């Protein structure tokens, strides 16, 4: 097992990894920008190193600074968290070349699954269902021709993308040029890769993802699925597990196909395969080669600490987890992402938190990176933390989440807590018929009032 792990991230996920390391008896190193000098992850870690100014490109995205911090603190492993460099294959390669273990898949596996086009090709080989789509688009004219072939509407997507960036819905050939140019520019800025491809757009799908875990001894588990349909502009707001739309038969079928794909590509540690569901059919979208923001709902319904297992797998340990096919869930879990933003306009709302009282009680978990008196910086994602609840049924979990949100007090800044309370009370959420358009439709209806 590792002696010391450096966490190349910030906020709630850095705190989450520190907690897992402490339970494994591993010392931790926090890296931070100048803006995060007083952050919670800096306080909780055994050591802390400032790696640059507030600008992410000069700190959390600056590979030489992170490697230097690992070397001067004698860290023998680096955990990338999510976001920032977590899916950067070059970062994984550099880490390994410096004799440090990257807590994630190999650089080669990351290149395969992190490249959306190559991932589609691999998915097709392993029998994962796909929506009609294209290969890499050479230019606007090629995009127009491929869009006509695939059939409108289409979704233009960034080859190296994620998190909803570099994506545009195109409903006619007259919209292709503008979408191509704006999406390309956004993808270049966000990922350093401007390449795009097309995929048939489904108007009202559900968003369902499967959690996979693999060690270096040929063992692979699919730990059920999560429903992530409540989202805005492809950014998830609420997640739950299991999905109320999934059947045992489909869960078992997809689990076996995913296990084969993971095994044959030599993938290890955590990975999440994302799908769209349309009329009960699943279509592969992409794989995220890291721990997900929403991993706690799987932890709550399986009883497995995913981050601890991720660290153990990276260290080469043979994991001891029951091989249940399909996975049998323990009750129902729901997660709400609490953001520092205006609940009506979604505008970020940085500033000082003057009052902080998180909810508690049976079946309530808070994963957060903030505290009373902390100043939320304007330089990073507005995620403050997550409220996760667990109950024996979905109905009880919904009621428990409403109660938890009622108790959550954050003063001094605006948050989206009130939005979550409204969304969870929608009839289509209560009766589990929500789609990826639910939030958009709700916001449009509210704007008309």
Contact 379, 348 (CB under 8 A): no
C-alpha gyration radius of the chain: 21
Q: How far is CA 359 from CA 151, 237, 365, 383, in A?
A: 48, 19, 8, 17
Per-residue buried b or exposed e for 297-320, using 16+ beta carbons within 10 Å of the residue's own CB: bbbbbbebbbbbbbbbbbbeeebe
Q: H-type helices in 219-344, by residue range?
A: 248-264, 295-302, 306-314
Contact 339, 349 (CB under 8 A): no
Phi/psi for 248 (5° steps) reads: -60, -40
Structure tokens at 415: 């948050």
Catalytic residue status for 290: yes
Phi/psi for 156 (5° steps) reads: -85, 130
Nearest Cα to Cα of residue 239 among 170, 163, 332, 174: 332
Contact 262, 212 (CB under 8 A): yes
Total residue count of the chain as it appears in this document: 449
What secondary structure letter does DSSP report for 217? T
Contact 29, 69 (CB under 8 A): yes
Contact 94, 63 (CB under 8 A): yes
Q: What is the rounded distance in angstroms from the CA atom of residue 155 to the CA atom of residue 168?
A: 6
Structure tokens at 209: 């993802």
Contact 338, 418 (CB under 8 A): no
Residue 166: how many CB atoms within 10 A of its CB?
28
Contact 390, 300 (CB under 8 A): yes
Residues forming beta bridges with residue 286, ordered by sequence position: 274
Catalytic residue (choose from 10, 200, 290, 337): 290
Q: What is the rounded distance in angstroms from the CA atom of residue 274 to the CA atom of residue 363?
A: 27
Q: What is the rounded distance in angstroms from the CA atom of residue 112 to the CA atom of residue 119?
A: 6
Nearest Cα to Cα of residue 272 among 210, 204, 362, 197: 210
Structure tokens at 382: 């507005």
Catalytically active residues, by annotation: 290
């Amino acid at each position: 097992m590792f002696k010391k792990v450096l966490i190349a991230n910030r906020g709630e996920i850095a705190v989450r990894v520190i907690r897992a390391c402490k339970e494994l008896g591993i010392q931790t190193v926090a890296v931070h920008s100048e803006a995060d000098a007083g952050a919670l992850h800096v306080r909780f870690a055994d050591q802390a190193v400032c790696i640059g100014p507030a600008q992410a490109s000069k700190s959390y995205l600056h590979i030489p600074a992170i490697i230097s911090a690992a070397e001067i603190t004698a860290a023998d492993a680096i955990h990338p968290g999510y976001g920032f460099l977590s899916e950067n294959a070059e970062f994984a390669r550099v880490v390994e070349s410096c004799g440090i273990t990257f807590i994630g898949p190999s650089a080669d596996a990351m290149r395969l699954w992190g490249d959306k086009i190559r991932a589609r090709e691999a998915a097709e080989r392993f029998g994962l269902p796909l929506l009609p789509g294209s290969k890499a688009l050479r230019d606007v004219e090629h995009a127009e021709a491929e869009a006509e072939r695939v059939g409108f509407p289409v979704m233009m997507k960034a080859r190296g993308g994620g998190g909803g960036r570099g994506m545009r819905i195109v409903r006619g050939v007259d919209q292709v040029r503008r979408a191509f140019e704006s999406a390309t520019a956004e993808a270049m800025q966000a990922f350093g890769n401007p390449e795009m491809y097309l995929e048939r757009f489904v108007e009202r799908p559900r968003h369902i993802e499967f959690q996979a875990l693999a060690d270096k001894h040929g063992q692979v588990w699919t730990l059920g699925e999560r429903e992530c349909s409540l989202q805005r502009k492809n950014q998830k707001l609420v997640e739950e597990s299991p999905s109320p739309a999934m059947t045992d038969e489909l869960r078992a079928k997809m689990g076996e196909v995913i296990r084969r794909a993971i095994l044959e590509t030599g993938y290890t540690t955590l990975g999440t395969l994302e799908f769209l569901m349309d009329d009960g059919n699943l279509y592969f979208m992409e794989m995220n080669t890291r721990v997900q923001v929403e991993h706690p709902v799987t932890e709550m319904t399986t009883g497995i600490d995913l981050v601890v297992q991720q660290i153990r797998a990276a260290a080469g340990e043979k994991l001891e987890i029951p091989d249940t096919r399909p996975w049998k869930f323990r009750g129902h879990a729901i997660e709400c992402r609490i953001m520092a933003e205006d609940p009506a306009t979604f505008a970020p709302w940085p500033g000082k938190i003057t009052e902080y009282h998180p909810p508690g009680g049976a079946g309530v978990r808070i994963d957060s990176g903030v505290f009373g008196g902390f100043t939320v910086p304007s330089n990073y994602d507005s995620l403050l933390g997550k409220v996760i609840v667990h109950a024996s049924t979905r109905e009880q979990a919904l009621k428990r989440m409403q109660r938890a949100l009622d108790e959550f007090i954050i003063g001094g800044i605006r948050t989206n807590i009130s939005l979550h309370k409204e969304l969870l009370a929608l009839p289509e959420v209560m009766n589990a018929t929500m789609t990826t358009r639910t939030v958009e439709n709700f916001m449009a209806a509210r704007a008309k009032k």
